[in-house]
Structure 1
Amino acid sequence: MALKSGHRIVPLVFEEAVRQYKQFHGYQTGTIRLEPDGWFFTTPFITFADKYYDFKFKPNDVVIVTYPKCGTTWTQEIVWTMVHNPNLNNPKASLPVMIRSPFLELDFLIYSSPIDPTMPGTFLHDTFAQAHPNRNPKDGIFLQLAELTEDPRIIKTHLPFSLLSPSLLETCKVIYVARDPKDVAVSYCHHSRLIKIHGFEGPTSDFVDHFVNDTFWPHLKEGWNRRKHPNIHYCFYEDMKANPKEETLRIHKFLDLNLTESQLNNIVHYTSFQEMSKREQDNLMGSDTRSMWNEEVFNKDGGFFRKGVTGDYKNKLSEEDIQKINEWTKENTRDLDDEFKYKIK
């Protein structure tokens, strides 16, 4: 079976499928890869794939594209606040970020999981049904939220460019955020343990094995190879952490906004890790979010906003896992320019 993107749907080979099934308890619906690139998804992605590819972007959209755990939610909050809440007085700021700035493909992930926060009676379902009574939540709450959210739309996706509309960059602005793969591995491992959509159970070294067989590098390269297009802003998480004011100014310039110095300073403070972590419980998808979390992991290792630092991999990964990721990085960055931050020569 071929998708509109030109990819073929291929079930995982037996050994990999069994391992995914045993260690990721949220992946019980089955798993696939899309060839020739090897993109990995749970099988409900098939239902939505062509809808994502056909999604109609608008000229004033801002689309935030990242591999998971690269500062996506942080960037969403920065951009949405710049565009819709520069004076920090917009009452909609109290709504979960996933409603203000929809996660385009979250529906297929939710449908993969035994924990479904979009059922009737939940915050997400009832909020959507009340706001859009003529829409069917079963057609994908987040896909429809992305379509219906107020202009200018701030939309998040972890999909690579090759699975999105080929006219994306010709239509609107895109912010791509990259992060050191060793820190991504640590953050993604915690995330996959915390969120029942993934439900990972196993040692960190096993997660690293999964990670280095995933499509981190093709994802980053698809963004990097488009970085000179005038409608893309390619940035690095480490730069955002080292100097949030400077990186906020760069985003401000890219979006061609006209905010004051005072507004920008207030936005930098409002979107700091400390301030966002205070708003964590309701910041993602509303009061139903905690039902999707593993409380044991939350109490032991922290929630969605765990540390927000760089270099934490030194405290979390074994020397063997660090070496494994470094060798993988060296092999996959040979063809990249020296200016690429994570290149290992």
Structure 2
Amino acid sequence: MALNYPYEIKDLSEHENSEILRYFKGIQDSYVRVGPKGYFFTSGFKEDAPKIYNLALKADDVWVVSLPKSGTTWTQELVWMVANDCDYEEAKTRNLMERFPFLEMGMFLKSSKTKDMPNQLSSNKTEQEKQIIASMYR
């Protein structure tokens, strides 16, 4: 049974959104406010929040939770290797996004500026890598 996401998610007014975009340049084109304190998230959060909130957890799940630019990718790689008996050969054959998904990546990639990114990122990739890239944009 899926639960409703417990916090209100509000679209920003045109004025608020343009103010944020003035200071935060990049691939985003809109933001939302979330919860009673009105935290800002990318607009893709509206679609992904209920999915993440209702994610089925397993007893052996391992989470890496970190701040940006703090060694997240390195830590994911290290944790995966430890949890998989240092299987270097398997690690070489599977992309890190497949072995250790970045759960909230999709919310950053849902904007009008990223519509063609899957095609751009998929050039010269294996079919498996193309599927991983496409899944981030769903």
| TM-score bucket (shorter structure) | 0.7 to 0.9
The one-letter amino acid of 2:64's match is I
Gapped regions of structure 2 (runs ≥ 5): none
1:112 corresponds to:
111
Give the secondary-structure state (helix, strand or coil) at the position aligned to 2:78: helix
Tell me, yes or no, if the aligned pair for 1:119 and 1:125 is still in contact at 8 Å. Answer: no
Give the secondary-structure state (helix, strand or coil) at the position aligned to 1:50: helix
2:4 corresponds to:
4
1:189 corresponds to:
none
Moved over 4 A (4+): 13-16, 128-131
1:27 equivalent in alignment to 2:23: no
- CA 1:63–1:121: 2 relative to 1, 3 Å: closer
Deviation, 1:54, is 0.7
Give the secondary-structure state (helix, strand or coil) at the position aligned to 1:33: strand
1:64 corresponds to:
64
Q: Percent of aligned positions with the same letter in both sequences?
A: 30
TM-score, normalising length: structure 1: 0.33
2:127 corresponds to:
126
Separation in 2, partners of 1:112, 1:130 = 19
Separation in 1, partners of 2:73, 2:131 = 25
Deviation, 1:92, is 2.9
Tell me, yes or no, if the aligned pair for 1:105 and 1:142 is still in contact at 8 Å. Answer: no
- CA 1:126–1:113: 2 relative to 1, 3 Å: farther
TM-score, normalising length: structure 2: 0.73
Tell me, yes or no, if the aligned pair for 1:117 and 1:125 is still in contact at 8 Å. Answer: no
Deviation, 1:11, is 2.8
Deviation, 1:46, is 1.1
- CA 1:9–1:60: 2 relative to 1, 3 Å: same
* Deviation by residue 1:240-271 (Cα, 9 ceiling, x = unmatched): xxxxxxxxxxxxxxxxxxxxxxxxxxxxxxxx
Deviation, 1:62, is 0.3
Query: Structure 2 matches for 1:104-253, cutoff 5 A?
Result: 104-112=103-111, 114-115=113-114, 116-119=116-119, 122=122, 126-127=127-128, 137=134, 141-142=135-136
2:89 corresponds to:
90
- CA 1:121–1:10: 2 relative to 1, 3 Å: closer
1:100 corresponds to:
99
2:40 corresponds to:
40
Give the secondary-structure state (helix, strand or coil) at the position aligned to 1:114: helix
Separation in 1, partners of 2:126, 2:51 = 20
The one-letter amino acid of 2:88's match is N
Deviation, 1:39, is 3.0
2:50 corresponds to:
50
Tell me, yes or no, if the aligned pair for 2:81 and 2:88 is still in contact at 8 Å. Answer: no
The one-letter amino acid of 2:26's match is H
Tell me, yes or no, if the aligned pair for 1:44 and 1:108 is still in contact at 8 Å. Answer: yes
Tell me, yes or no, if the aligned pair for 2:28 and 2:113 is still in contact at 8 Å. Answer: no
Gapped regions of structure 1 (runs ≥ 5): 132-136, 145-345
Deviation, 1:21, is 1.7
Separation in 2, partners of 1:113, 1:97 = 26
Give the secondary-structure state (helix, strand or coil) at the position aligned to 2:65: strand
CA RMSD across the alignment: 3.3
Deviation, 1:80, is 0.6
Tell me, yes or no, if the aligned pair for 1:85 and 1:93 is still in contact at 8 Å. Answer: no
Tell me, yes or no, if the aligned pair for 2:109 and 2:137 is still in contact at 8 Å. Answer: no
The one-letter amino acid of 2:39's match is W
Separation in 2, partners of 1:98, 1:72 = 12
* Deviation by residue 1:90-139 (Cα, 9 ceiling, x = unmatched): 233354322221111211211226245434981679326669xxxxx5xx
1:214 corresponds to:
none
The one-letter amino acid of 1:102's match is P
